[in-house]
Structure 1
Amino acid sequence: MTNPLSPESLLALAARHGLDLVEGSLRPDNTGWDFQVAHAITKDGVAWILRVPRRPDIAEGIDVEARLLDVVRGLLPVAVPDWRIRTRDLVAYPRLAGEPAATEAVATRTLSWRIDRVDPPDVYVEQLAEIMARLHQAPIDAAAATGIPVRTPAGVRLTFSTRLERARREIGMHDSWWNRGRRWLEDDRLWPARSVLLHGDLHPGHTLVDGTGSIVGLLDWTDAEVGDPGQEFIEATRKFEPKNLARVLDAYQRHGGDVWPGLRANIEEGVAFAPMFLGLLGLDSEQPHYVERARTALAAPSPR
């Protein structure tokens, strides 16, 4: 992981790309794993977001994400970033309206909420489900042509198997977690028959809301892929009280989403294994805090 740029270096980088920023307007946002993010204001009064890739692999994916944004912009009823500058060293776009539904404190890794975590507003649940349903019903050819990862249903299961084996080897896990993962893999009822377009990281911090809790924008498409529809629900719902999964699934089905018989169990297994997924991401993105959290969670016996 590269060292974060200083405010002075960020200002100079922006200037090289034609952004004339107000000195003193730069406000860092250090919550992102993949990009160093800063808020700033240009001298003509427009608020902008600056994103500097933290690792070479993220820089290499910038063009892919830009192409995907062009595809999804016409699919969704909410705004997505309009990248006016996109190079290997800087992405910048006018700031979207709204504020994240939840924001993570870097020091404590705790979330501060702008909506009710226990009982999120009906409008938030409805729009979240509609966004997922629209993405999952979209033709995948155009999305696949952008260069995002594409996994067939068989590939989805192979990917989980590979991650399970890697976690056992590099993080460690109680035998009950290994056995639970193998049972999940072997149960055909719990895996999708088709792959769909996914945002890939639909947690509350990537949903922008207004004062009523309505979703007005959707950020950070770096992890988009074609894959398991159940995966989308993991980050979208696990930060809320578990009872809200049923609300989201009901709304998802009303908007045309395919609620196949094993979907809920698929999501519940995904939520259970979320610490493992985050731990592996922590290994890849040099985030030792998440690796240690995964090691602690997986060292204890699985609840079932």
Structure 2
Amino acid sequence: MGQNPWNAEWEVTEPLVRLLLNRQFPQLSSLPIHEIGSGWDNTVYRIGEEYVFRFPRRAFAIPLLQTEAKILPKLANYITLPYAKPLFFGKESADYPAPFLGYTYLSGTFPIGLTDETRMESAAALARFLKNLHAFPVEIAQQEGVAADHRNLTDLAGRRDKMLDFLSQLALHFTDAEMKELADYLRGISLDRVRQRHILIHGDLHFKNMLVDETGKLSGIIDWGDVSIGHPACDLSIAYSFLPPASREGFFEAYGSVDEETKVLARLIAVYIPMLIFMQAIDDKDEAVAQEAKSIMKRALAI
């Protein structure tokens, strides 16, 4: 499985984290260290009660982290939900080949297994968050080094074909009816490309980058490593992946006018991202995440 994009190029161990803190942030060196987990790009450790550190685990993530360090402090007056603010700016060294960041720790859990009713309670907060984020001046983002999105998001035809290829890898884990629903949905998309847009976006808004409190209400947005200038559909996909159909109209009313091609792209991304997360979860033998990703695909397809 060496070609998987979630495989690490280097490991970030607890002794390494302790060494880096001792050398660069000695005021933190006596605090307990606890690994929280790894995404595709970073390994995450909680340091004491108040801080969380993200360490790149592949070279591709380094410029993303550097951009994040510059733009996140500028967003304070725009972001209407709690988000992790960078406080400690670690430098690459002979000990470790990448810069790293330490942030305020946000409490909460991933929104896994929530009821539709609970999800609907966060619809207005999500809409307000994205409305304000997407209003951030693009010129300022560019001055801070935020790059144009590199993922060719607006190419629906290419993404649709890639997803149809992925279906063969899902066959063991999906029923024939589920496979047919996915295939019919993908083949039914007649739009090949949407008009390019240039908006500041979070860029990776899905359930593993969101936190909820003990009541299931949205309490924070994390992992801004894919912050970029691109199409808002990337973030608006959350209306299909996180929210049930009954609350989507209210979400878009609160967010502001959204054209139909943006909604088509947003729904496609809402199916694409959990498809990738599902394949990784199967690879990692993580049943809970696999089940959540599967349920998200079903929710995104629901009208």
TM-score (norm 1): 0.69
Change (3 A) 1:82 1:117: farther
Alignment of 1:26-65 (within 5 A): 26-41=33-48, 47-65=50-68
Count matched residues.
271
CA distance in 2, matches of 1:245, 1:274: 19
1:152-231 map, 5 Å: 156-158=153-155, 160-166=156-162, 181=186, 184=189, 186=191, 191=194, 194-209=197-212, 217-231=220-234
Q: Which amino acid aligns with 1:91?
A: F
> Is the contact made by 2:154 and 2:195 (CA closer than 8 Å) also made in structure 1?
no
Kept in 2, the 8 Å contact 1:204–1:236? The answer is: no
2-side partners of 1:236 and 1:242: how far apart? 8
Poorly superposed stretches of 4+, deviation over 6 Å: 173-179, 287-290
* Counterpart among 126, 129, 140 of residue 128 in structure 1: 126
Shift in Å, 1:185: 5.5
The residue number in structure 2 matching 1:107 is none
Distance 1:22 1:15 in 2: 5
Task: Report the alpha carbon displacement of residue 222 of structure 1 after superposing the two structures with TM.
Answer: 1.0
1: distance between equivalents of 2:244 and 2:136? 29
Specify the alignment match of 1:100 in structure 2: 108
Identity of counterpart residues, as a percentage?
Answer: 18
Does the 8 Å CA contact 2:24/2:90 hold for their aligned counterparts?
A: no
The structural deviation recorded for 1:35 is 0.9
- 1-structure distance, mates of 2:166, 2:207: 29
Q: 2:142 aligns with which of 144, 148, 152?
A: 144
- State the 1:82 CA deviation: 2.1
Query: Match for 1:50: what amino acid?
Result: F
* 1:249 aligned residue (252, 256, 277): 252
Q: Does 1:7 align with 2:14?
A: yes
Q: Distance in 1 between matches of 2:277 and 2:211?
A: 23
1:238 is matched with which residue: 232, 236, 241? 241
Instruction: Give the equivalent residue in structure 1 for 2:174.
Output: none
Letter in 1 for 2:189: W
Does the 8 A contact of 1:202 with 1:235 survive in 2?
yes
CA distance in 1 between partners of 2:230 and 2:241 (Å): 19
| Distance in 1 (alpha carbons) for counterparts of 2:78 and 2:190 | 32
Q: What RMSD over aligned residues (CA atoms) do the two structures have, in Å?
A: 4.1
Deviation at 1:211, TM superposition (A): 5.8
> SS of the counterpart of 1:51?
strand
Question: Does the 8 A contact of 1:14 with 1:21 survive in 2?
Answer: yes
1:201 CA drift (Å): 1.9
Q: Is the Cα contact below 8 Å between 1:51 and 1:92 reproduced in 2?
A: yes
Which ranges of structure 2 fall in alignment gaps of 5 or more residues? 1-7, 93-97, 170-178
Residue 56 of structure 1: how far off its partner (Å): 0.8
Q: For 2:91, give the aligned amino acid.
A: T
Aligned AA for 1:186? L
Q: Does the 8 Å CA contact 1:136/1:198 hold for their aligned counterparts?
A: yes
Structure-2 separation of matches of 1:87 and 1:117 = 43
Distance 1:249 1:233 in 2: 9
CA contact (8 A) 1:51 1:91 kept: yes
Residue 71 in structure 1 maps to residue 74 in structure 2? yes
Question: Where does residue 259 of structure 1 map in the other structure?
Answer: 258
- Once the two structures are superposed, residues 57-103 of structure 1 have per-residue CA deviations (whole angstroms, 9 ceiling, x without a partner) of 1123221222221332332234431242143434232424x423526
Contact kept? 2:203, 2:234, Cα under 8 Å = yes
SS of residue paired to 2:249 = helix
| Contact 1:203 1:235 survives alignment (8 Å) | yes
